[in-house]
Structure 1
Amino acid sequence: MNGPFYPFEGKLPKVDERAWVAPTAAVIGDVEIGEKSNIWYHCVLRGDSNFIRIGARTNIQDGTIIHVNSGSFPTVIGDDVTVGHAAIIHACTLANRAFVGMGATVLDGAVIEEGGVLAAGSVLPPGKRVGSLELWMGNPAKLVRVLTVEQRANFDTTAPHYVELSGRHRASLRSTS
């Protein structure tokens, strides 16, 4: 296995060949990354005391930390999810098309349902649930409003953009090695 992948107690990360992981990321232990997902520079995904699962076409942006809770909560991230720069995703569930803004934190047992949005810098407390199309913000995060389908559609442009951009990064890195 090439890249920044590390075993933990005999478990190696499983990364789809069409996914892209930046060379400065660290992916450790029981982690699976789906097709065309992309893990950016200086991210840490540590599946040591539980597992991390990431679906297809999901982008985990620069400096994000993803971890688990021993025995209680793994971290499960669906398809077409965006996790902004320098977020902390800890032992929670991000359903398909969830959107987590830059610098936000999602804590143990929390859930962001399909199409839910957590604003930049917000902290979603343990066990809280962001509903479909809901926008939450603050510390602690609270419901601000329900987005219209049209408003939510603007967020859906991010995942395909990052799939395309990761391909360009992969090509650029290959051309310099």
Structure 2
Amino acid sequence: MFLLGASGHAKVIIDILKAQGVTIDGLFDDNPNCTDLKGYPFLGALKDYKKAIDSLIISIGNNSIRKRIAEDFQNIDYGTAIHPSAILSDDANIGNGTVIMHGAIVQSSVLVGNHCIINTSASIDHDCTIENYVHISPNATLCGNVTVCEGAQVGAGAVVVPGKRIGKWALVAAGAVVVRDVPDYALVIGNPARVIKILK
């Protein structure tokens, strides 16, 4: 497995892959000053790499950057990283390039798209749909039948009650309690969550 990006997010993914027993072949980054991360070598920019790549994870926390990179490099086989302490239903469906971190719970009939982050101890209940490039932050809770649209982020410790829709590229602030649908590109905060800004 190769990683693209050398941030703190990459450090966590390295730990997950090691716990899975997956071999890490190196990291790509556009920063020419990088030398290694946690003992794993830098291989330069991905666009300049001439050897075969068996599998890659985009180890960058920013949703829009993950999307841009995935669209720029569409012919790569993207892997997944799922920590052994995560609990996944047998009928949950996990997309390519997605990372599920320590202690996360993904329940029955959940669909998680491509290049998502399900962060530490996040909880996703039955029949939720998580679209591509979404980030569910640490300790966030999604009750049943929630839809989180492309590129949205649900902040740390936030709660989304059953059946609600989080619009594309919306941001639910840390600790917010979502009791109604969130519009596309909206920033919502508070309990109950209210729109304070449109991000586009």
TM-score computed with the length of structure 2 as normaliser:
0.59
Aligned pairs for 1:107-146 (under 5 A) are: 107-125=161-179, 128-146=180-198
Q: Give the corresponding residue for 2:89.
A: 28
Higher RCO (CA 8 Å, separation ≥ 6 residues): 1
Structure 2 unaligned segments of length 5 or more: list them: 1-19, 21-76
The C-alpha deviation readout for 1:42-93, integer Å capped at 9, x for no partner, is 011121xxx100000000000111112xxxxx20000000111011011200
- Seq. identity, %: 27
Q: Which amino acid aligns with 1:77?
A: I
Aligned pairs for 1:159-170 (under 5 A) are: none
Aligned pairs for 1:48-127 (under 5 A) are: 51-68=109-126, 74-91=127-144, 92-125=146-179
The CA deviation at 1:17 is 7.6
The C-alpha deviation readout for 1:18-60, integer Å capped at 9, x for no partner, is 111011111123200000101000011121xxx1000000000
The C-alpha deviation readout for 1:124-163, integer Å capped at 9, x for no partner, is 01xx211111101111111111124xxxxxxxxxxxxxxx
Cα distance in structure 2, aligned partners of 1:114 and 1:40: 23
Cα distance in structure 2, aligned partners of 1:59 and 1:53: 13
Helix, strand or coil at the partner of 1:132: coil
RMSD: 1.5
TM-score computed with the length of structure 1 as normaliser:
0.67
Helix, strand or coil at the partner of 1:130: coil
Which of structure 1's runs of 4+ aligned residues deviate more than 4 A? none
Q: Which amino acid aligns with 2:98?
A: S
Q: Which amino acid aligns with 2:189?
A: M
More strand by share: 1
Aligned residues: 124
